[in-house]
């Protein structure tokens, strides 16, 4: 269904299938209907629930302010779709244009959108991960289970990994008056996403709020009691922390296994797509009928040297879904690129943190407004003489200005004076990101070139 009137037919009576019925999937479906798609729409989701919102799971839900089943995503409009919920997609036949489901059904499509997101990376030692009291947090069920256990008043919560999610969990626990230990392999919380300068502020914040924060250590094992309940965590510095709840917050794994062998360019780093959200096949050729959006996608971005960007950002999932939906039913000349400037928020320990651009690409940082000591500031990140990102701690109203500097690739250090500047803040300093070859938890943005490992076809030189 392409060109010469066939696009009209697609819009009128085509079959669009969306795999992954969550934030990106729902927003794409709504956009398709908004833009006049009148054909059949099938939403396939492995979770048995209608689309719900995840950010409240580590905030309001853990605080006991909202039950986990109350975070359904508001609908922008009716989508008139067939919902296949509680049934995972298990395979894709690209040639026959069919999605295989776990219940044996096959669903044919003219256009397919893949929005299968990510899942929480479990504790790597399976037997220890299965101990009662060991949790991860990604889904509504996981949120409900953890919230229930926190409400029981455990003696101590032990959080492994101080990325955004781990830090938010620690914050919620402290707000509930629970004792919390956080173990982080890096030098400080949030260090992978925001670097060591801002990470040091986050560390002070945690300690001031009573978190027993242990940085530069790894958890070597979890220990259970005779009834299979977790009772302690052992650390690489030889110490042991007694605990009855462990939350593993070690980042995410892309949900791409179901595409193995399909011929699509999908792997552990996500699904590579072009700026118009069209998926690449394993030969590096862009497909015409398969689109990708949300946390599972990795796509090139003009602002960041056309490197492939993987974002675990709510706003990106929405923006990319809207672009993918538009492009799925548009002529090639009308297609739009996904050029969203990365933006992320988090609230923890009473502080509202927001970032724009890609701070983790920055090598230098300066603080043109506010001060690190007051924990109310803007940090601006520089990369090769240009502004590449910014972070605000309780200073978000200035962020749109810095976003414009990112968008216009303004020079770094930025050449303007600010009213509330502190003399030290005008001097760029090393942003102190960890060595990129050392894994850290929780950078919500990953940059990657096109990996040679993604090429799985035989190269035959032409004669």
Ligand X SMILES: Cc1cc2nc3c(=O)[nH]c(=O)nc-3n(C[C@H](O)[C@H](O)[C@H](O)COP(=O)(O)OP(=O)(O)OC[C@H]3O[C@@H](n4cnc5c(N)ncnc54)[C@H](O)[C@@H]3O)c2cc1C
Measured from the CB of residue 121, what is the shortest distance to ligand X in angstroms? 12
CA quadruple 314, 315, 317, 323: dihedral, nearest 10: 170
Of 191 and 317, which has the nearer Cβ to ligand X? 317
Of 175 and 420, which has the nearer Cβ to ligand X? 175
Neighbours of 35 (CB within 10 A): 14
Of 259 and 367, which has the nearer Cβ to ligand X? 259
Q: Answer for the pair 454, 267: CB distance below 8 angstroms, yes or no.
A: yes
Measured from the CB of residue 112, what is the shortest distance to ligand X in angstroms? 12
- Separation of alpha carbons 87 and 174, rounded Å: 37
Measured from the CB of residue 123, what is the shortest distance to ligand X in angstroms? 17
Of 46 and 274, which has the nearer Cβ to ligand X? 46
Q: Answer for the pair 405, 413: CB distance below 8 angstroms, yes or no.
A: no
Of 47 and 407, which has the nearer Cβ to ligand X? 47
Measured from the CB of residue 47, what is the shortest distance to ligand X in angstroms? 4
The structure tokens 């003219």 sit at: 110
Of 66 and 187, which has the nearer Cβ to ligand X? 66
Neighbours of 152 (CB within 10 A): 8
Two structure tokens written together for 278:
């069209």
Binding site for ligand X (CB under 6 A): 19-20, 22-25, 44-47, 54-55, 57-58, 88-89, 115-118, 137-138, 165, 255, 258, 294-295, 312-315, 317, 344-346
Angle formed by the axes of helices 191-208 and 164-175, nearest 10°:
10
H or E segment and range at residue 320: helix 314-328
Measured from the CB of residue 353, what is the shortest distance to ligand X in angstroms? 9
Of 109 and 314, which has the nearer Cβ to ligand X? 314
- Separation of alpha carbons 259 and 32, rounded Å: 24
Question: How is the beta sheet containing 308-311 ordered, strand by strand?
Answer: 266-267, 270-272, 297-300, 308-311, 445-448
Measured from the CB of residue 19, what is the shortest distance to ligand X in angstroms? 5
Q: Which DSSP string corresponds to 337-366?
A: ---PPPEEEEEETTEEEEEEE-GGG-SEEE
CA quadruple 201, 217, 191, 348: dihedral, nearest 10: -60
Of 148 and 229, which has the nearer Cβ to ligand X? 148
Measured from the CB of residue 17, what is the shortest distance to ligand X in angstroms? 11
Measured from the CB of residue 416, what is the shortest distance to ligand X in angstroms? 28
């Amino acid at each position: 269904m392409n060109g010469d009137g066939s696009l009209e037919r697609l819009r009128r009576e085509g079959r669009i299938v969306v795999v992954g019925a969550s934030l990106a999937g729902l927003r794409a479906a709504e956009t398709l209907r908004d833009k006049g798609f009148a054909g059949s729409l099938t939403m396939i989701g492995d979770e048995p629930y209608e689309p719900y919102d995840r950010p409240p799971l580590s905030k309001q839900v853990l605080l006991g302010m909202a039950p986990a089943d109350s975070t359904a995503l508001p609908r922008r409009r009716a989508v008139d779709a067939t919902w296949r919920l509680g049934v995972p997609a298990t395979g894709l036949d690209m040639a026959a244009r069919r999605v295989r489901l776990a219940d044996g059904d096959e669903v044919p499509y003219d256009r397919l959108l893949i929005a299968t997101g990510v899942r929480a990376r479990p504790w790597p030692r399976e037997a220890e991960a299965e101990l009662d009291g060991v949790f991860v947090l990604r889904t509504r069920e996981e949120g409900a289970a953890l919230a229930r256990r926190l409400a029981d008043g455990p003696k101590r919560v032990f959080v492994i990994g101080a990325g955004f999610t781990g830090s938010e969990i620690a914050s919620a626990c402290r707000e509930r008056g629970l004792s919390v230990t956080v173990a982080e392999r890096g030098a400080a919380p949030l260090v992978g996403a925001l670097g060591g300068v801002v990470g040091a502020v986050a560390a002070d914040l945690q300690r001031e709020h009573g978190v027993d924060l242990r940085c530069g250590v790894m958890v070597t094992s979890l220990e259970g009691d005779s009834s299979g309940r977790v009772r302690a965590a052992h650390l690489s510095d030889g110490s042991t922390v007694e605990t009855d709840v462990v939350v593993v917050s070690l980042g995410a794994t892309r949900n791409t296994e179901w595409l193995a062998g399909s011929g699509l360019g999908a792997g552990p780093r996500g699904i590579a797509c072009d700026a118009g959200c069209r998926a690449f096949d394993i030969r590096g050729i862009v497909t015409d009928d398969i689109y990708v959006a949300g946390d599972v996608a990795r796509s090139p971005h003009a602002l960041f040297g056309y490197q492939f960007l993987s974002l675990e950002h709510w706003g990106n999932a929405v923006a990319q879904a809207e672009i993918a939906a538009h492009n799925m039913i548009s002529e090639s000349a009308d297609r739009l690129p996904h050029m969203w400037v990365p933006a992320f928020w988090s609230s923890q320990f009473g502080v509202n943190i927001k970032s724009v651009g890609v701070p983790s690409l920055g090598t230098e940082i300066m603080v043109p407004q506010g001060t690190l000591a007051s924990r109310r500031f803007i940090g601006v990140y520089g990369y090769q003489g240009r502004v590449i990102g910014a972070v605000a701690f309780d200073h978000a109203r200035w962020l749109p200005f810095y976003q414009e500097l990112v968008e216009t690739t303004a020079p770094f250090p930025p050449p303007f004076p600010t009213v509330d500047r502190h003399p030290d803040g005008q001097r760029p300093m090393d942003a102190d990101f960890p060595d990129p070859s050392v894994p850290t938890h929780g950078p919500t943005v990953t940059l990657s070139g096109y990996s040679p490992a993604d090429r799985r076809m035989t190269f035959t030189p032409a004669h």
